[in-house]
Amino acid sequence: MAAKLKHLPQGLRTAMAVALLTITTWAVAVDLRADHPDTYVVQRGDTLWDIAGRFLQKPWLWPEIWQANPQVENPHLIYPGDVLSLAYMDRVQQPQAVVQPGPRTEPPITGIPLGEIEPFLKDLRVVDSFDQLPYVVGLEEDRLRGGQGQLVYVRGLAGAQPGQRYMVVRPVQRYAFVDRTDGCCDLFDRDSLDFRGRRTLDSADFWAAVMVMDKGKELLGHELKRVSAGTITRGEVGGIEASTLMLDHDSHEVRVGDRIVPVDVQSYDPYFHPHPPARSFDYGRAKVLAVADMLATGGPHDVVALSVGARDGIDNGTVFSTWRVGTNAVDRVEYGLDRTESTIFAGSKVRLPDEFAGHVMVFRTFDKMSYGLVMDSVKPTRVGFELKHPDAPF
């Protein structure tokens, strides 16, 4: 089916996907909250997830609301002021539900807050390698940093012509999967990168790297962050060995070592259809790798990097539940208070349960990893949390 859909126009593929989703959700039992009203007036600032979260036990199954309002032709064209019927969801004999249209003076609501993820759709990307990319080798007047209206000099853009536009990106993170059969205790490896894009190791990372020696590691990708953009004003001419780029975008300061890529207009689909992952994963394989703009924790509407991607069957709209991994605790009743953890073998410790934290939905997918948005939570989401089926009981 997926292969056949690829040959259809984008609009038709979307329509068929919505139809298939609607058919599928008929088989799912509606699980309404006991205090749901008969109708709901869509409010400004709502998302489809928010509305479902008020009335369904499982907010990621928001298509059930539109299934219960069959006259809604497009679930993504719901506007503030529209009145949705919820009485019909009880599967009892009710009059035909009627949606009362709102004033249509504001944009339709979406599945997730696009304003929260748009910078990650436009400004971040994950690549396998960046060493081959042209890079900033110097700045106007030998400055340490450059901004809008200033010149930077780029090495590796032989043949660049005046008027061509390029984006300046910076390698910021390196993600790797570590095979624990090597004897290392860490399953995933994340390194910050210096101005050249090389790994920076503190003392703890250094000794871990010595123990692993990069054997058994699989690179998940390098995260590149957009820094600025500019236009070529002069190529490598007259013996000059660097092209001149005039920065015309006011964002972050450019520095030596930043990489250069052609400007590409990345279109993205703002409609996300939530669904569980296509398959299950071995415990410890699907993890939260990082929390954007945070040290280690995040809450609702924070973006997180995940350790699974397209090769694992992940696509946009995939929903996971996040879980704090249960600790291996020392049984103080059996061993006494004077015993330290280091003196107790792992097999003699008590495995405590994982603890539910919230839900995350994927909005951008790469081959080996993905970005997701924390949709709801009962506790902060941290680096290292386990990803499970959205309805996982434990």
In angstroms, the CA 308 to CA 290 distance is 13
In angstroms, the CA 127 to CA 221 distance is 5
Dmax (CA) of the chain: 83
For residue 93, is pLDDT > 50? no
Instruction: Determine the pLDDT at residue 243.
Output: 96
Q: Which tops the pLDDT comparison, 8 or 346?
A: 346
For residue 18, is pLDDT > 70? no
Closest CA to 160 of 266, 264, 261: 261
In angstroms, the CA 369 to CA 219 distance is 10
Instruction: Determine the pLDDT at residue 254.
Output: 95
Q: Which tops the pLDDT comparison, 117 or 163?
A: 163
Q: Using an 8 Å Cβ cutoff, are 122 and 100 in contact?
A: no
Class of the CATH domain delimited by 288-388: mainly beta
Q: Which tops the pLDDT comparison, 230 or 43?
A: 230
Distances (CA, A) of 176 to 128, 187, 189, 214: 11, 9, 5, 10
- What does the mean pLDDT of the chain come to? 77
For residue 15, is pLDDT > 60? no
173-216: per-residue pLDDT in tens?
888 876 655 444 445 666 677 767 776 655 444 333 433 445 55
Instruction: Determine the pLDDT at residue 36.
Output: 67
Percentage of the chain beyond pLDDT 70 is 71
Instruction: Determine the pLDDT at residue 136.
Output: 96
DSSP secondary structure letter of residue 12: H
Both tokens of 109, joined, read: 């609501």
Question: For the domain bounded by 28-111, which CATH number is listed?
Answer: 3.10.350.10
Q: Do domains 28-111 and 288-388 have the same CATH topology?
A: no
Q: Hey, which residues does 166 pair with through a beta bridge?
A: 230, 262
Distances (CA, A) of 53 to 36, 39, 106, 132, 381: 11, 15, 22, 46, 19
pLDDT band at 272; cut points 50, 70, 90: confident
127-164: per-residue pLDDT in tens?
999 999 999 999 999 999 999 999 999 999 988 999 99
* Lowest pLDDT segment from 97-101, 169-173, 388-392: 97-101
Closest CA to 227 of 125, 82, 362: 125
Domain boundaries, the chain: 28-111, 121-262, 288-388
Q: How many residues are recorded in the chain?
A: 394
